[in-house]
Amino acid sequence: MSGDAHVRICERLGVQLPRATRPVICFQYREDAEKVLQVLPKRFARYGLTLHPEKTRLVEFGRTALARAIRAGTKPDTFDFLGLTHKCALSRRGKFTVHVKTMKKRLRRSFKAVAEWCRTHRHDAVDKQQAILNAKLRGHYQYYGRPTNYRSLWQFYRGVRQTWKKWLERRSRGQPLSWERYAQILRRHPLRRPRIAHTWTSAVSQT
């Protein structure tokens, strides 16, 4: 959505959606979703707001959608929300569940931010760099550390480890930093490893 005004969607409850809010509205029946999608642009226009044409869409999601996709041999639809890609899945017991993983766009942005920091601070003391990088890793795990997102956490950890090596090597005046030497540095200045920060219960309530 775009615009500077605020719009009241639930006037009795006093709920307000600010500029650039990205809500997810769920319906049991597709016809209800289609009706709301037809009405929303007109409703928002009354308050000087618009729906983003590329980010506003209908997504078939849930048990029925997953069963239909399995029968057709296709992948079910996914959607991105709050930095996480949500997808239908089956648990180890064969029951329906929702899996999440870090959005590719967010992961690339995080890698870029870490690389820029390492480049700018490559001449700082190693222990200082370690402390800041661990703070960044801790913050990343705290937000994205959801059940089913472990692979993405490890991907970020390995990317940070590789990036740090690159910029430590750059400050050594062209002398390569071998992995054996880097392993010694990591033993003295370890990087925080991935951890799941949210239980299944908290993950369901927050996503």
In a domain, 194, yes or no: yes
In a domain, 12, yes or no: yes
**Is 161 a residue whose pLDDT tops 90?**
yes
Same domain for 131 and 196, yes or no, is: yes
Q: pLDDT band at residue 138, thresholds of 50, 70 and 90? A: very high
**Is 71 a residue whose pLDDT tops 80?**
yes
In a domain, 117, yes or no: yes
**Is 1 a residue whose pLDDT tops 60?**
no
Total number of domains constituting the chain = 2
Same domain for 197 and 111, yes or no, is: yes
pLDDT for the residue 174:
66
pLDDT for the residue 201:
59
- Find all residues with CB under 8 Å of 36, minimum gap 6, and list them: 25, 27
In a domain, 145, yes or no: yes
The reported pTM is 0.78
In a domain, 97, yes or no: no
| Of residues 21 and 172, more confidently modeled | 172
Q: pLDDT band at residue 3, thresholds of 50, 70 and 90? A: very low
- Find all residues with CB under 8 Å of 87, minimum gap 6, and list them: 76, 78, 98, 99, 100, 101
Percent of the chain with pLDDT over 90: 46
Same domain for 18 and 108, yes or no, is: no
Domain of residue 135: give its range: 104-206
Cβ–Cβ under 8 Å, residues 200 and 147: yes
